[in-house]
Structure 1
């Protein structure tokens, strides 16, 4: 049974009614971020019930020493942890001397959370009775500024309802925090100074080992009866925290507000000895705007984002809410302004997976950012990987590869591999192919080929060298084979000849050879520079051709399909539909050994290859493979439903495509995988966008042209989206009666709709 407490609403995520069992899930769902930092939706005031406190700063991490029972050569020495950063949101509250704590309050009424996605703010309100019988009304509004991305703002309002009351606000900042995710319970932060200046406070600290210097800061003032008080009554300074006290006697029914600005300045952006100075400059800027002025800026900034990235659905509120939630979280996580940052699987909503960069970025996120931002944002994601090429070569060297072979990490913060499950670290090497595919995807979409001679060719050479060294010749098969790998389906480990990995390797080798020839002919100076740097020889490229031409692909003639890997047909092929529903999800009910011996597929594996290389296969081949593999797929990866939705739509199975769409768009809102309290599935959210644009909209690039084959679920009356294609903003509107295309910005464009050319302009 999926959770269903989130109220359907086209522009907001709404929870009504207080339930302690939902608190941690809601902390994830109502998370906020601005690309530079983010935080879970923890209460500002004290809360003694179960909670997962978390605030995070982009690019700040800790190398937690690897912890395994049996060390194997080649293991990364550490697992990079996204760090729970010092807490700046805290506002302890006392009512007539009794702490406000929803876990101890009674008669909690009108509890409501709202995450307003259209305007980019989060609000919580309730009426409750404290243990000393004072009934109060609370409204707390919070946002992280997009226009001033080092700062967030809180307005915490209280009104006593049944008597006069003394209200004490204690805003504080605290560096004595711990990680939910830690291998050894190490101390991650070292606090070096705590200072106050009037109503501002600063804690300077640095991370252990990595020595990221951070200043956590706050400013607070009180508003009562239109009178603003900036002078705290007192301050409380402890070893790792600093707080102020504002005391105010409140008449029954009147309201008092505490406004707090807070955030982080980091030595990634400022000199380490100037962090307090930078914090003061930021606070001066936002103070001049005030809470309401900063909120107006926030609404405008989000309005600009939605103008380009919104997908409008008419006739299906849950579907509408789902896609906007996904788009909202993607934009909270990555804004494209900093090429040193990337998109972590949990974004700023939790600590699982180390919060690092996965292959998800290239395989799923790049298309979203290419189409809804501009090509410079997508180029930054590719530049991020080029900047890590030397580390990728080091990663391969640690595993015994030579001569500049590059293995991009499964998980990384700085280019080094930092994932320590052997079947992932050593074997899930298909991630290398996703990097190459992203270069191909970017150049065909944008027509910006400059990335390849400038950076991409070096990346492709390193990847091709890896694949050529990773295969070995099988005299038995008279083919090159790939042994001991894990494909995208992580419910199969250490298999031989995973079809997707083998196919991707062959394609990467051929693509690298094509790009070498193209750069040689069209960019001779870049070609000469790259050849001198990489020392690539004709003997090597000859080997690449040989491997690509003689790659082995397991196949079943009986079923007429490529096999996911050698031996797949040896399994007990019981379909998912025949499993006991009480045993789902299997990853929470079965032993790992039982899962590995089963035919069950965590996510698209062979079908991932059919998604990437759709043009290599006929519709009949896709249908045959879809019908064979989907019935064994449990979709227990967040990355699974979106690929299947796109493919079901291509096969005109719209009911199935719609079901998969709902699952991917509401994966977290409805908590399909029973794990949302750990954080959201950010990177898979880009797959939700793909489900509509590539699935229902049928958008493809073919022969350099934009193509569509629009379809619409019967549950919808209409949907529309915009894409930025080669500096033209194209709007696509699909109804039950047909599709319309217009240019919102830029020159006219010829597109292909249902295989027929269509010239699109402003008047189309």
Structure 2
């Protein structure tokens, strides 16, 4: 049974009624971020119930020493932890001497809202304390998009039945720990704390990595919107925590509020000796604007994002809520402003998986950012990998590869591999192919080939060298094979000749050779420079081609399909539909041994190859493979339903495509995998966008042109989305009556709709 407490709404995530059992799930679902920092939706005030405290700063991490039963050569030295950052949101509250704690008192009219249209988190409730005081509480919190080192909280309390002495005790605290530390270590070393009039800060530095962070705050108290003079004679201060004490006397139905500005300044953006001054400068700007103006600016900044990123669905509130939630969380996680950053699988919503970068970025997120931002943002994501090329070569060297062979990490913060499950670290090498495919996808979509001679070809050469060395010749098969791998389906480990991996290896080599020839002919000076830098030779390229031209792909003549791996037909191919629902999800109910021997597929594997390279296969081949593999797929990876939705739509199976779409769009909202309290599935949210644009809209890029084969679920009246294609903004609106295109700018755009050419003119609708 999936959770079902989120109120359907087109623009907000809404929870009504307070249930202590779902606090941690809501802390994930109502998370907020601004690309530079983020936090789970923890309560500001004391909460002694079960909670998962989490605030995070983009790019700040700790190399937690690997913990394994026994060491294997090649193991990463550490697992990169996304750090629980110092707490700036804390506001302890006392009312007539009693601590406000929602786990201990009577709560009514509880409502929480994540307003996605305007970018803020709100919470309001009535409470009856044990001392008899009844209060009404309203809180608004947001992380500024304009001043991305700043967060703002407005915390209002109104006594209902009696006058009250209310004490606000706002604090900043660096003595935090991670929920998932390998060795239960402390990651933060306190440096100094300080108070200057109403300004307070704690400064701390991460052990090992040496990130220096100032966590700061400044507070203002109001009664009925009139600013009060703050007298704080009982402030407390240690090197890890500063807490102010602000007392106010309030009559019944008067409202007192604390406005708290806080946030982080970080040594990645400022020199260490300027961090405190940088914090003061942020607060000067915040105070000049004030809470209400900052709030208005927040709404306007989000309106600007939604102008381009929104997908509008008419007639299906749950579907609409789902896609906007996905788009909102992607933009909260990464806005493309800082090329040093990337898109973590949990974003700012939890600590599971660690690291900031998986292959998810290239395989799923790049299309979203290419189409809804601009070319530069997408280029930054590719440049991130180029900047880590030397580390990728080092990663390959640690596993015995030579001559500049690059193995990009499964998980990374700085380019080093830091994932320490052996079956993934050593075997899930298909990640290399996603890096190469992203370069191809970027050039195909943007038309910007300049990236290839500038940066991309060096990356591709390193990857091609890896595949050449990773394959070995089988005398038995008289072809090249790739042994001991794990494909995208992590429910099979250490198997031979995973179709997807072998196909990627061949494709990567062929694509690299094709680009080498193009650059030799058209960018001769770049060609010479790259050849010299990489010590590449024609004979080496010839060896690569021999591997690609003679790659083995397991195939079943009986079923007419490529096999996921050599031994797949040795399994009992009982379809998922015949499994007892009580045994799902398998990863929580079955032993790992039983899973590995089963035919059940965690996520699209062979079909992932058909998604990437659909132009290389016929419609009939896709249909046959979909019919064979989809019934065996349990979709226990967040990355799975979107691929199946796109392919079901291509096959004209709209009911199935729609079901997969709902699953991917509401994966977290409805907690399909029963793990949302650990954080959200951020990177798969880009796949939700693809389900509509590439699935229902049928958008493809072929021959430098946009192609569409639009379809619409019967449950919808219409849907629309925007695409920034080569600096031309195209709006697509699909209804049961037909498809309309609107184009911004001054130039026409030719698109292909259902195989027919259509000339779209700016501001003119075309049917």
TM-score, structure 1 as length reference: 0.99
Matches within 5 A, 1:176-325: 176-229=175-228, 231-234=230-233, 235-325=235-325
Q: Which residue of 1 aligns with 2:369?
A: 369
Instruction: Give 1:239 deviation, angstroms.
Output: 3.8
CA drift of 1:612 comes to 0.1
Distance 1:669 1:227 in 2: 40
* 2:67 corresponding residue in structure 1: 67
SS for the counterpart of 1:339 is: coil
Q: State the alpha-carbon separation in 1 of the partners of residues 341 and 658 from structure 2.
A: 33
Q: Distance in 2 between matches of 1:82 and 1:229?
A: 39
**Does structure 1 residue 151 correspond to structure 2 residue 174?**
no
Question: Which digits, 9 at most, give the CA deviation of each residue in 1:382-415, with x for residues without a partner?
Answer: 0000000000000000000000000000000000
Kindly indicate whether the alpha-carbon contact (under 8 Å) linking 2:428 and 2:487 is maintained by their aligned counterparts in 1: yes
- Cα distance per residue 1:281-321 (max 9 Å; x no partner): 00000111111000010000000000000000000000000
Q: Which residue of 2 aligns with 1:18?
A: 18
| 1:617 corresponding residue in structure 2 | 617
Q: Distance in 1 between matches of 2:264 and 2:80?
A: 21
Q: Give CA-to-partner distance per residue, 1:675-708, whole Å, 9 cap, x none.
A: 0000000000000000000000000011111100
Residues 245-287 of structure 1 show CA distances to partners (whole Å, capped at 9, x for unaligned) of 1100100111000000000000110011100000000000011
Q: Distance in 1 between matches of 2:47 and 2:525?
A: 63
Alpha-carbon separation, structure 1, partners of 2:457 and 2:22:
49
Report the equivalent of 2:131.
Answer: 132
Whether contact under 8 Å (2:86, 2:172) holds in the other structure is yes
Aligned partner of 1:718 in structure 2 is 718
Contact 1:220 1:230 in 2 (8 A): no
The structural deviation recorded for 1:539 is: 1.4
Distance 1:188 1:748, change over 3 A: same
Q: How far does residue 130 in structure 1 lie from its aligned partner after superposition?
A: 1.2
Paired residue for 2:88?
A: 88
User: 1:34-67 CA distances to partner (integer Å, 9 max, x unpaired)?
Assistant: 0000000000000000000000000000000000
Q: Distance in 1 between matches of 2:749 and 2:131?
A: 69
Counterpart-to-counterpart distance in 1, 2:49 and 2:467: 51
Q: Distance in 2 between matches of 1:258 and 1:280?
A: 19
Mapped contact 2:36–2:149 kept (Cα < 8 A):
yes
Match of 1:440 in 2: 440
Paired position in structure 2 for 1:400: 400
CA–CA distance in 2 between the matches of 1:453 and 1:230?
62
Cα shift at 1:745: 3.2
State the distance in 2 between where 1:200 and 1:98 align. 27
Distance 1:416 1:355, change over 3 A: closer
- Equivalent residue runs for 1:588-627 within 5 Å: 588-627=588-627
- Say if 2:483 is the partner of 1:503: no
- Is residue 350 of structure 2 the alignment partner of residue 347 of structure 1? no
Please list the CA deviations of residues 352-372 of structure 1 after superposition, one character each: whole Å capped at 9, or x if unmatched.
000420000000000000000
Does the aligned pair in 2 maintain the 1:712–1:735 contact within 8 Å?
yes
Matched residue, 2:661: 661
Matched, 1:381 2:381: yes
CA contact (8 A) 2:202 2:239 kept: no
Deviations, residues 168-216 of structure 1 (Å, cap 9, x unaligned):
0000000010101110011100011000111110111100000001000
Distance in 2, matches of 1:224 and 1:741, equals 52
Kept in 1: contact 2:355–2:418 (CA 8 A): no
Q: Deviations over 1:690-728 (max 9, x none)?
A: 000000000001111110000000000000000000000
Deviation digits for residues 544-579 of structure 1 (CA, Å, limit 9, x no counterpart): 110010000000000000000001000011100000
Change (3 A) 1:230 1:484: farther
Distance 1:536 1:355 in 2: 32
SS in 2 for 1:231: coil
Query: Does 2:159 correspond to 1:160?
Result: yes
Residues 585-615 of structure 1, C-alpha deviations (whole Å, 9 max, x = no match): 0110000000000000000000000000000
- How big is each residue's C-alpha offset from its partner over 1:610-660, in whole Å with a ceiling of 9 and x where there is no partner? 000000001100000000000000000000000000000000000000000
Superposition pairs of residues 385-534 of structure 1, within 5 angstroms: 385-534=385-534
Classify 1:678/1:355 alpha carbon distance in 2 versus 1 (closer, same or farther; 3 Å): farther
Aligned-partner SS, 1:157: strand
Structure 1 residue 540 and structure 2 residue 540: aligned?
yes
Alpha-carbon distance in 2 for matches of 1:239, 1:285? 27
How many angstroms apart in 2 are the aligned matches of 1:427 and 1:298?
45
Give the Cα separation in 2 of the matches to 1:78 and 1:212: 17
CA contact (8 A) 2:192 2:239 kept: no
Counterpart Cα distance in 2 of 1:453 and 1:399? 28
Which whole-Å CA distance do the structure 1 matches of 2:750 and 2:389 have between them?
Answer: 38
Q: Do the aligned partners of 1:346 and 1:355 also contact (CA within 8 Å) in 2?
A: no
Q: Which runs of 5+ in 2 are unaligned?
A: none
Deviation, 1:746, is 4.7
Q: Is the 8 A contact 1:219 1:260 kept in 2?
A: yes
**Other-structure match for 1:123:** 122
What root-mean-square deviation, in Å, do the aligned CA atoms of Structure 1 and Structure 2 show? 0.7
Query: Distance between the aligned counterparts of 1:533 and 1:307, measured in 2?
Result: 44
CA–CA separation in structure 1 for the residues paired with 2:114 and 2:166: 27
SS in 2 for 1:510: helix
- Write the distance in 2 (CA, Å) between the matches of 1:527 and 1:219: 56
Q: CA deviation at 1:230?
A: 5.3
Whether the 8 Å contact between 1:356 and 1:413 is mirrored in structure 2 is yes
1:727-762 Cα shifts (integer Å, max 9, x gaps): 000000000111111102352100000000000012
Say whether residues 1:112 and 2:124 are aligned partners.
no
Query: In the alignment, which residue of structure 1 is the partner of 2:675?
Result: 675
Unpaired segments ≥5 residues, structure 1: none
Shift of 1:451: 0.5
Cα distance in structure 2, aligned partners of 1:127 and 1:430: 53
Name the residue aligned to 2:754: 754
SS in 1 for 2:244: strand
Name the structure 2 match of 1:574: 574
Confirm or deny: 8 A CA contact 1:730 1:745 kept in the other structure: no
SS at match of 2:497: coil
CA distance in 2, matches of 1:464, 1:230: 67
Larger deviation: 191-200 or 677-686? 191-200
The 3-state SS of whatever aligns with 1:440 is helix
Q: Distance in 1 between matches of 2:4 and 2:715?
A: 20
For 1:27 and 1:132, the matched residues in 2 are separated by 28
- CA–CA separation in structure 2 for the residues paired with 1:612 and 1:239: 53
The answer to whether structure 1 residue 735 and structure 2 residue 735 are counterparts is yes
Equivalent pair of 2:112/2:122 in contact (CA under 8 Å): yes
Cα distance in 2 between the residues matched to 1:207 and 1:640: 36
TM-score normalised to structure 2 length: 0.99
